[in-house]
Structure 1
Amino acid sequence: MKFSNQLVLLFTALLLINCSKKEDVCHIHGTVVDTDTESVILVRPYEDLTEPAIEIPVIDGKFEYIAHIENPEGYQLFSGKAKETRRGQFTLIFLENADINITVHSEENFDKNTVEGGPLNKEYKTINAEAEKLSQELEKLRKEGNYMTKAYLNALNNENNSKHKMDSLRSLDQVYTPKGKAFNEKASKIYESKIKWAENNPSSIVSYYLFLENILIQDIIDVNKTYKLYEKLSNNFPNHPYNEVALNLIKGKSIKAGKKFIDFTAPDLNGNPITLSTQIEGKVALLDLWATWCSPCIAKSKSMVPVYNDYKDKGFTVIGVAREKDDTKRLTEFLEKEKWPWQQLVDLDGENKIWQKYGIPNSGGELILIDKTGTVLAVNPTAEEVRQHLEKTLN
């Protein structure tokens, strides 16, 4: 009898351990419908599509993912094809230790995707209901060509990056169509309500996600107000990876004329670590963040070659940083062909978080003109604007 009782106790203990382990993992069960995608990718909102955190293969219309999650986070789920095209619709999913069932439809019907399971996913679904409708409305406006004006779209898609034309259209308030303006006004109110919810619920990781999302969609942020909410959230989640990301983004979004540049260290093509400040000290410098897959970035970089040649012996330098994926083979081949004359560094797979530090994690690149004291003179200047600055300061 005593032996029998011991067996019952042992069985009960094992059952409790197994149940505990089951609850301590994130288990995604996925099904794809009407699409031949070979994988789905999960991307953090501050990562580039070419650098997905997780890629899950699709086999016979099914996919599965199992992992223990230390810190729940929000991920954007895309079709695997988006990794190559760098665009596509996404469905938000919170990875948390729970059973999560996902149905993924074709790109044309991505709004029909479903995510079921986990308290965070349930919470986000409730908060995001109005924004979800908004997303469908925006997609419809874009398909109909009723969101942005044709003039602005032409300027935006111009490989030579017609900055003056775009600036002119902005000043004339000719970026959005009347329907686009009405949509933006409605969207602004919904995003404001989501941030208000985050402010009132700082103990939820969903709030932290909404906070990051809000920073990412804005060109200019209220630094003091943003930092105040950051302090609340980071205090509630002291060991969460969002803390470093949020701080980087707040500082990066603050970059503008009159502010100090943000220093970093990145390897050159030989793997030697190079610190930006040591290369530009005492010089007027152009920091060129670009990528071999970013055509507008390449066009802007090319336009700077004559400026560099005219002023390189007068106290001007250019430091290029290429954002590349997997290896530097494509970058090396590109530079051998183009023979750009300035120093090149590389941020491979976002390892050095340079784009994040400059507040542009989802962008191909950016140009930052910096004076001899380390103060930013201009962000995304044209070659002519750089030349004008150099004529004033170096001549």
Structure 2
Amino acid sequence: MKKLLLWCCLSLLGLHVKAQTKVIDYPVEGKRSTDCVEFYRAEVSDTALILRGNLYNRPGHWVQLASSARLTGGVTGKVYRLVGAEGIEPDQKIYMPATWTRPFSLQFEPVEDKDRWVDFDEGTATNGEFVVREISLEEKKERKRIHCRIEGQVMGNPAYSRIMLYPEGTDDRVNDWQSIPVRDGRFSFDLYTDTEEPYELCAWSDKMTGAWRPVPFIAEDGVLKVTFYSLEKSAEVTSESPLNKELLAFNRQTDSLFMRSLRMEKDKLRREGKVESLEMQALHKQFEGAKDEAERKKLGDRAQELYRTGKAYTPEYYELEKKSTKAYDDFQAYSLDYIKADSSLVGLYLLKNQMERSKRQGKDLAPYIAVYREIYASLFSGNALTRYVRNWISALEVKVGNRFVDFEAPDLEGTRHLLSEEIAGKVALIDLWASWCGPCRRTSLSMIPIYESYKDKGFTVVGVARERSAGDMKAALVKDKYPWLNLLELNDRAKIWEKYGIGNAGGATFLVDKEGKILAVRPTAEEVKAILDKILWQN
């Protein structure tokens, strides 16, 4: 009996100790100033708060955390000191291995119960310090309708130590994305959303090197399994959920019907050295041994001449290109028939893809727009994919001769401005820019003399900065000193870039007349001046 009582007491004690430690996976809910530091777990107890995470950077590059790193209570404002670290030594440069990552943990003083979340910073108050906002210390209680379980593995590629997850169509330069760490070759994540909508997965190291192959899927109830290999080999995806199962089946079917044989034929030509012509192959070797820039330019000019005259590739490869063009036309016709007959969210997703491809190829978009309006426009109300397609089609009309797209956005003080009211009765330059877009800022700077010369003659400029944080916009304005009204598009909240059809760009400019008709798209300062001189002369 005494042994039984002792066992019960020890069991209760064990339960009590366990209850004192809360574990919150993926606790970061706010903004972060860096992609180099990621916290994937918070462990909260009566004696300490431990944040477990990873440092990320290119191999051979370093990351450094300050020993003054601290947490600030979200409710009390109390500062909690760093008291220990594992995996790193504060104030020391940590160089990245071939895996692009180093695991670490930070131990802080225990946090008061009132502080349901904390902010992390290095306590240095410099522009380069690492800041992570709103690290939740409460176990998540998901109330969203959709639960998509993502399970995956990485085969033979240590650089794939981090998987990026984001809604398809978003720009990670201004939108936060979910970082999923790969540990022992495996990763998992529970994605909760309110509606079925397309997402993408990709390897962070590929994105950093400027070449990546995203894995698209539709967030829906169920399990999605993904195996990553490398850029040279496509990821393998399986799912028994209805939408993803349909999408995967469509991709397999169209690949079998139109693409696989062409891919095999191209691989055969590559193995046999029959892709490029003998002259083009010789130019490559000469270019590698070129002694100076003048010789390289001469060889480059000759290569361009071969491309123009159809002599860059072998006759066999040009014949394969003809087959590929025919196969792609057949694929598009097959896809359009499928989209017409389907009328599911998969059909809308495929329609979006076909429209984007056709636009890049300069093909007629009318058949796709007609299908959207006849079948899909009234379906899936409130879905992000519907919004995207609607804005994408509307953005096709943002061109010379048509009216500008109106929008509302705040300035840095939070005062909201309606664009049409700001430019009413004036010739105006709508300047969409970003602090991280060098060409955008050079264009904006070139417009300052134009603005100063014509601002009292009926001309104005309204700038809009596309940013991840308001601080980035503030710093750019301090440096560039634009003298006109500037508004903030934070994290693409108003979808302004999407509405103007420049979702993947840093920015663009649009000159409009007093009636709101677009006079020029991406004009130079000289072109703006010439148009203003003409308009003012006419007036």
TM-score over 0.5 (shorter chain): yes
Q: How does 1:1-395 map to 2 (within 5 A)?
A: 25-33=147-155, 34-50=157-173, 51-52=175-176, 54-81=178-205, 88-106=212-230, 108-109=231-232, 111-117=233-239, 118-129=241-252, 130=255, 182=321, 185=325, 189=329, 192-193=332-333, 195-217=335-357, 218=359, 222=365, 226-325=369-468, 327-395=469-537
Q: Is the radius of gyration larger for structure 1 or structure 2? A: 2
Deviations 1:292-330 (A, max 9, x none): 2222222222222222222222111111111111x1222
Instruction: Tell me the SS of whatever aligns to 1:201.
Output: helix
Residues in 2 aligned to 1:135 and 1:281: alpha-carbon distance in whole angstroms: 55
Instruction: Tell me the SS of whatever aligns to 1:88.
Output: coil
Is the contact between residue 355 and residue 365 of structure 2 (CA under 8 Å) also seen in structure 1?
Answer: no
Q: CA deviation at 1:210?
A: 1.6
Instruction: Tell me the SS of whatever aligns to 1:208.
Output: helix
Is the contact between residue 43 and residue 53 of structure 1 (CA under 8 Å) also seen in structure 2?
Answer: yes
Higher normalized contact order (CA 8 Å, seq sep 6+, divided by chain length): 1
Instruction: Tell me the SS of whatever aligns to 1:261.
Output: coil
Deviations 1:322-361 (A, max 9, x none): 1111x12222112111112221111111111101111222
Q: Which of 33-42 and 179-188 deviates more?
A: 179-188
Residues in 2 aligned to 1:338 and 1:59: alpha-carbon distance in whole angstroms: 44
Deviations 1:196-226 (A, max 9, x none): 1453234221111122223334267646851
Is the contact between residue 257 and residue 378 of structure 1 (CA under 8 Å) also seen in structure 2?
Answer: yes
Q: CA deviation at 1:227?
A: 4.9
Residues in 2 aligned to 1:345 and 1:24: alpha-carbon distance in whole angstroms: 35
TM-score of the aligned structures, taking structure 1 as reference length: 0.74
Q: Which of 377-386 and 264-273 deviates more?
A: 377-386
Identity in percent: 35
Inter-CA distance 339–311: structure 2 relative to 1 (3 Å threshold): same
Is the contact between residue 355 and residue 361 of structure 1 (CA under 8 Å) also seen in structure 2?
Answer: yes
Deviations 1:31-83 (A, max 9, x none): 12313344322233321133255432333332212245543222222223466
Inter-CA distance 375–80: structure 2 relative to 1 (3 Å threshold): same
Unaligned runs of 5+ in 2: 1-144, 271-275, 281-306
The count of aligned residue pairs is 338
Residues in 2 aligned to 1:122 and 1:100: alpha-carbon distance in whole angstroms: 10
Q: CA deviation at 1:231?
A: 4.5
Q: CA deviation at 1:191?
A: 5.9
Is the contact between residue 25 and residue 97 of structure 1 (CA under 8 Å) also seen in structure 2?
Answer: yes
Residues in 1 aligned to 2:224 and 2:509: alpha-carbon distance in whole angstroms: 42
